[in-house]
Amino acid sequence: MKWSSPVRQLGLAVAAFLLVAACGSSSGGGTAACSSAKTATSASDCGGLAGLEAAANAEGKLNVIALPPDWANYGAIITGFQAKYPSIKVTSDNPNGSSQDEVNAVQQLGASNRAPDVVDVGMAVALANTSLFAPYKVATWNDILASQKEPTGLWFQDYGGYMSIGYDSSKVPAITSLSDLLGSGFSGKVALNGDPTKANAALNGVMMASLANGGSLDDISKGVDFFHQLKGKGNFVPVQATTATVKNGTTPVVFDWDYLSAAHGTDVPTWKVFVPNNAILGGYYAQAISKTAPHPAAARLWEEYLYSDEGQNLWLKGLARPVRMQAMITTGTVDKTAAAALPPVSGTPVFLSAAQATTASAYLGSHWAAAIS
C-alpha cells in the first residue's frame, strides 16, 4: 500500500513497530497483534489487514508447494507477493508435484517448519481432505459464488479453464476429434499432465475423453476405456507432461487445461490447442490453508493477496480465468488486455459437481492401473 504523505508514512511505520514489539513470536502459531492467527477466520480476527500484515512480517516465511512457475503465472505471483512483502521469504517446494503430493506433505510434515502453509489442489482432493484445512474467508469473499466455496472457508476456488488437447502441429497431424488420437500418426506421443488417480488435471483429461465418447459427468468409465485403447495401440505415453517434456518433444500431445497448454506456445511456436465442442469440460482449482500451518499469518496474507485485484489479474495474465473475474468486470478492475487473450471456447461448458468428482476419483482408483498396464 502506498501513502503520499511522509507524516502518515512515519505514523504507519511506528504503529507497525509497536504492533510487532507488543507480542513478538509465540509457540502457538501467532505473532504480533494476531496471537490468534492459527484460528483466525478472517483478517478482522487480527485487527484488520494491517494487523495480519504485521503478524506475517514477524513470521517472515511462507511455504507453498506444487506451484510450477509457468502454471497459471505462479512465478509472477510469487514474485509479486515477495515484492509487496519483502520481509516474508517464500519457499516453493516440489513445484511439479500433484494435488495428492500436497496433502501428503501436510500430513507427513505436520506443524514442522518445512510443512506447507497453503495448498492449491483439485476439487476431488480438496473435498477428500477438508479435515486438514482451517476455515478462512478473504476480504473479497462475497465475490466468490456460493457454488465455488465451502461455506465456512475450508476451501474456496481460485482459477480455472477448460480441458483441452495441446499438440505440436509440426510433429503430429491436425486434431479435430479425440478419435484422431487412435491413429498411427500418434504412436508414442499422447500424454496426460500427471497420474489421474492423484492429479486433478489428469483426472479431468480422462473425464473429457469420457464425455467425447458418450460418457457423462457421472460416468468416467468411457474415458478409461479410451486410454486403454490408446495404450493398446502404443499411442499413450505414461509420462507426466511438463514444460520440459513438451519442449524436448517427448510429449508432443498433451491433455491439459487450456491455460496451461497455451503457455507451451512460448517454447514451441507450432503448438496448437484444441477443445472438442462435444466435451467442453470446465474446472477450477481450490485454495486451502493447512490447519497446522507453521506460518498461519503468512498463509492467510497469501490468500488475501491471491484474491485481491492484483492477484486475480496475475492469474488472468497466465491465461487462467480467476474466480472473481465477473465481479472485476463489473467493477472495472479486470485487466481487459489479459481477458481478451484467453483461449476461445465455442459451446456450452459443463462442470463436475463435488459428488461427481469424488465418484470419478474413486472409479479411477479402482480401474486406472489395470487399464494402462
* Sequential pLDDT tens for the chain (373 residues): 223 333 333 333 333 333 333 333 333 444 445 778 999 999 999 999 999 999 999 999 999 999 999 899 999 999 999 999 999 999 999 999 999 999 999 999 999 999 999 999 999 899 999 999 999 999 999 999 998 999 999 999 999 999 999 999 999 999 999 999 999 999 999 999 999 999 999 999 999 999 999 999 999 999 999 999 999 999 999 999 999 999 999 999 999 999 999 989 999 999 999 999 999 999 999 999 999 999 999 999 999 999 999 999 999 999 999 999 999 999 999 999 999 998 778 888 999 988 899 999 999 999 999 999 9
CA distance 142 to 139: 8
Query: Which sequence spans correspond to the domains of the chain?
Result: 11-119+291-339, 160-282+343-372
Q: In this structure, are residues 290 and 129 in contact, taking their beta carbons and an 8 Å threshold?
A: no
Identity of the amino acid at 167: Y
**Given this structure, which CATH class describes domain 160-282+343-372?**
alpha beta
Is the Cα dihedral 317, 323, 326, 329 positive or negative? negative
CA distance 155 to 352: 16
SS3 state at 41: coil
Strand partners, 157: 286
State the CB neighbour count (10 A cutoff) for residue 240. 18
Across the chain, where does the E strand assignment appear? 61-65, 89-93, 118-121, 133-134, 156-168, 190-192, 253-257, 271-274, 281-290, 321-322, 350-351
